[in-house]
Structure 1
């Protein structure tokens, strides 16, 4: 996860998947967005497994880790790294399932 600087906000850690196929990269983004919105990976499990099977090992492993971390709301980081989750993201993660 690299630290990215933003013009209109604080720097943030962002996953970068080294995937040469733009269609697969867009699929990965869609999967991660759905997992973050719901806080649950079960609804995308079949889709994410199929996508990971079609990707090379390194990006597939990164996507798998990103899905787990997005679903649980916990991100792996080295000691001393501070995560700041925007309040709307935090509240969305804490909503009861519909």
Structure 2
């Protein structure tokens, strides 16, 4: 048998089937949400740190608990904003088609 045989019937080359101009470029949701969490934590660290430095934190029994709540809320809000950002990017990629 020679090496120049035709492909097996029923098999097709991917390049023959897929049109590269029609491939949709969807965002990676996990990465958008991950970046949102990191940015939310950075902002929450600034807000929580400035709150711990203020006079309002002196009257609180356990300021570390409030600081933790601020960090968790910042991470959750950042994840929500990152997810919304990914959805908007996905909608925009569909609109251009």
Whether TM exceeds 0.5 here: the answer is no
Structure (1 or 2) with the greater strand fraction: 1
Q: If the length of structure 2 is used for normalisation, what is the TM-score?
A: 0.29
Q: If the length of structure 1 is used for normalisation, what is the TM-score?
A: 0.29
Larger Rg belongs to: 2
- Higher relative contact order, chain-length normalized (CA < 8 Å, sep 6+): 2
